[in-house]
A and B are shown apart, each in its own frame.
Chain A
Amino acid sequence: MDKNKDRQFLVSVSPHVRSEETTARIMWSVSAALLPAAAMGAYFFGPKAVITISISIIVAVLTEYLYQKGMKKKNTIGDGSALLTGLLLGLNLPASVPFYIPLVGAVVAILITKLIFGGLGYNIFNPALVGRAFLLMSFPKLMTIWTQPTAAFVKIDAVTTATPLGILKEEGIQKLLETFGGSFNMYMQMLSGNRAGSIGETSAIALLAGAAFLFYKRYITWHVPFSFLGSAALMAWIFGGKGAFFTGDPLLHMLSGGMLLGSFFMATDYVTSPAVKKGQILFGAGCGFLTMLIRLKGGYPEGVMFAILIMNCLTPMIDRGFRTKVFGSAKGAAR
């Protein structure tokens, strides 16, 4: 009784009102928001997709656990960030990859990109994207074999094909329209996800549903994704056409490749994107610009991954450039 009496007058330091939100809660919510996309991937690409995603997640979590155990550090697998990284990496892989590709990718993503730099919050680059970049450069053949989606677990041999962006790059828009049978069909199939590509990037509807959930929960703001999509659409419209300016097809570029997955789920990563809103707009616009530059002029058909990684490098500089003025500091004082 005496104890409680003393406590009555105990005043702790601020903050006194705490939000319900924690890192773990946000990470788990983002993972949940990705589930529709993962489910659509599993639907179109079959059990192989589920296995790839599972290996990626398990290895990512296990790597973090073992590292922290071995280094005698506080265990942080409960915050869900390793799981989210594994999930994102899995969703960014083609369904047909052999088992060791998600394994190597997850180890690189967690160990080299995140843990060596000091763990969650200290990494310069988006771990899942570095994992994928590592894999793309290590296994260029295996990482660009895309399987034709076969709906509803139909058990047939996987047919390899090119992604819409690959066809667009190699053979042009006419061939792409032929493959899908008209532009309306093409947009419809891209919305549902019935096209070749990485497991989680194909279904636009599922990704948009997940993104809507994140917007509703206010885990992401419009700044990064919309400036990303906006600048990419502008570039696609101006320079995407054949011969003349202003004849490109922005919608095609929005829906193809990893544009939606990248802009809503990976460019918005808190750790590797600027903290200031104005800076976030510049960050997103830079991502969109670089993506379209690589898609239209570069050697790779898809550029979302490299665009985000390059902008990740610039994040500290952007943050510094848009640093808010300290209230009361003298005009023109040295910063």
Chain B
Amino acid sequence: MAAYHGKNWDLIKNGIISENTIFKLVLSLCPAIAVTNSLRNGFLMGVAVMFVQTMVNITVSLLKNFIHPKIRIPVFMLIISGWVTVTDMSMAAFAPDAYKQMGLYIQLIVAFASIFARAEMFASKNKVVHSMFDGIGMGLGFLFALVAISFFRELLGKGTLWGVPVIDAKPLLIMVLPAGGFLAVGILMAAFNWMNKRYMVSK
């Protein structure tokens, strides 16, 4: 991929719509199912991933001329784990309740294909500013997907949103179980792609 020369805004749009991590690339589905049983967890996870993605992209882009191509993979790994550790510790300090529920998944961000792929395919070949916007865009796309999934799962599965009761009816318990996660991801993915096809000008 040649170095990017386009607009920053396009990078963000690309991350949210045409290369949405979950709905389009179908990557990182593990957190999309594991932590989305409540809106708060989904939101926090999305923010954590967005932060790590952006910082990793900036760091990799800054260091791209110093990293020997032969050992780039271990170096990316180190950079990612560094930023994940930062996120992990800050989360444990500032949001201990949420951290108790999803601490393991925060640490698992290290192994996210999407973060690694953007470091390898974009940040290591592009300018810092572009890499930052790419990170923000991909992160926003991930955040959007997680919020959308957890919105439906919590609403249908518990009848609440962010812990606040919204609908007063017998909830569909299956939606907060893992099986419901697959259902929600599948249906939202279909809806996203359908709308995309219908309303966006396809390139």
A137 and B183 in contact (CB under 8 A), knowing A104-B172, A116-B190?
no
Measured in the bound complex, the distance between the Cα atoms of B174 and A100 in whole Å is 15
A140 and B172 contacting across the interface, CB-CB below 8 Å: no
Measured in the bound complex, the distance between the Cα atoms of B189 and A116 in whole Å is 13
Measured in the bound complex, the distance between the Cα atoms of B175 and A104 in whole Å is 13
B183 and A138 contacting across the interface, CB-CB below 8 Å: no
A112 and B183 contacting across the interface, CB-CB below 8 Å: yes
Interface residue count for A (Cβ, 8 Å)?
9
A100 and B177 contacting across the interface, CB-CB below 8 Å: no
Residue B173 contacts which of A100, A112, A116, A140 (CB distance < 8 angstroms)?
A140
For residue A213, CB closer than 8 A to chain B, the reply is: no
A134 and B170 in contact (CB under 8 A), knowing A112-B183, A116-B190?
no
B170 and A139 contacting across the interface, CB-CB below 8 Å: yes
A137 and B173 in contact (CB under 8 A), knowing A112-B183, A116-B190?
yes
Q: How far is the CB of A66 from chain B (nearest CB, A)?
A: 17
Residue B170 contacts which of A100, A112, A137 (CB distance < 8 angstroms)?
A100
For residue B93, CB closer than 8 A to chain A, the reply is: no
Measured in the bound complex, the distance between the Cα atoms of B170 and A25 in whole Å is 39
Interface residue count for B (Cβ, 8 Å)?
11
A138 and B190 contacting across the interface, CB-CB below 8 Å: no
A139 and B190 contacting across the interface, CB-CB below 8 Å: no
Interface centre among B170, B171, B187, B190 (most CB of A within 10 A): B170
* B interface footprint on A204-242 (CB within 8 Å = 1, 0 otherwise): 000000000000000000000000000000000000000
Measured in the bound complex, the distance between the Cα atoms of B169 and A100 in whole Å is 11
Q: How far is the CB of B66 from chain A (nearest CB, A)?
A: 49
Q: How far is the CB of A216 from chain B (nearest CB, A)?
A: 39
Chain B contacts for A100, CB-based, 8 A: 170
Measured in the bound complex, the distance between the Cα atoms of B175 and A138 in whole Å is 8
A134 and B190 contacting across the interface, CB-CB below 8 Å: no
Measured in the bound complex, the distance between the Cα atoms of B171 and A138 in whole Å is 8
Q: How far is the CB of A281 from chain B (nearest CB, A)?
A: 30
Chain B contacts for A104, CB-based, 8 A: 172
A137 and B190 contacting across the interface, CB-CB below 8 Å: no
For residue B71, CB closer than 8 A to chain A, the reply is: no
Measured in the bound complex, the distance between the Cα atoms of B183 and A116 in whole Å is 12
Chain A residues 129 to 162 lying within 8 A of chain B, measured CB to CB, are 134, 137-140
Residue A139 contacts which of B173, B177, B187 (CB distance < 8 angstroms)?
B173
For residue B117, CB closer than 8 A to chain A, the reply is: no
Measured in the bound complex, the distance between the Cα atoms of B183 and A134 in whole Å is 11
Smallest Cβ-Cβ distance to B156: which chain A residue: A138
Chain B contacts for A134, CB-based, 8 A: 174
Measured in the bound complex, the distance between the Cα atoms of B175 and A112 in whole Å is 14
Measured in the bound complex, the distance between the Cα atoms of B184 and A258 in whole Å is 29
Smallest Cβ-Cβ distance to A137: which chain B residue: B174
Chain A contacts for B172, CB-based, 8 A: 104, 138-139
Could you write out 20 A-B pairs with CB less than 8 Å apart?
Answer: A100-B170, A104-B172, A112-B183, A112-B187, A116-B187, A116-B190, A134-B174, A137-B173, A137-B174, A137-B177, A137-B179, A138-B171, A138-B172, A138-B173, A138-B174, A138-B175, A139-B170, A139-B172, A139-B173, A140-B173
Measured CB to CB, the residues of B under 8 A from A are 170-175, 177, 179, 183, 187, 190
Other A-B pairs beyond A138-B172, A140-B173, 4, CB < 8 Å: A137-B179, A138-B171, A139-B172, A139-B173
Give the top 4 A-B pairs by smallest Cβ distance, nearest first: A137-B174, A138-B174, A138-B172, A138-B173
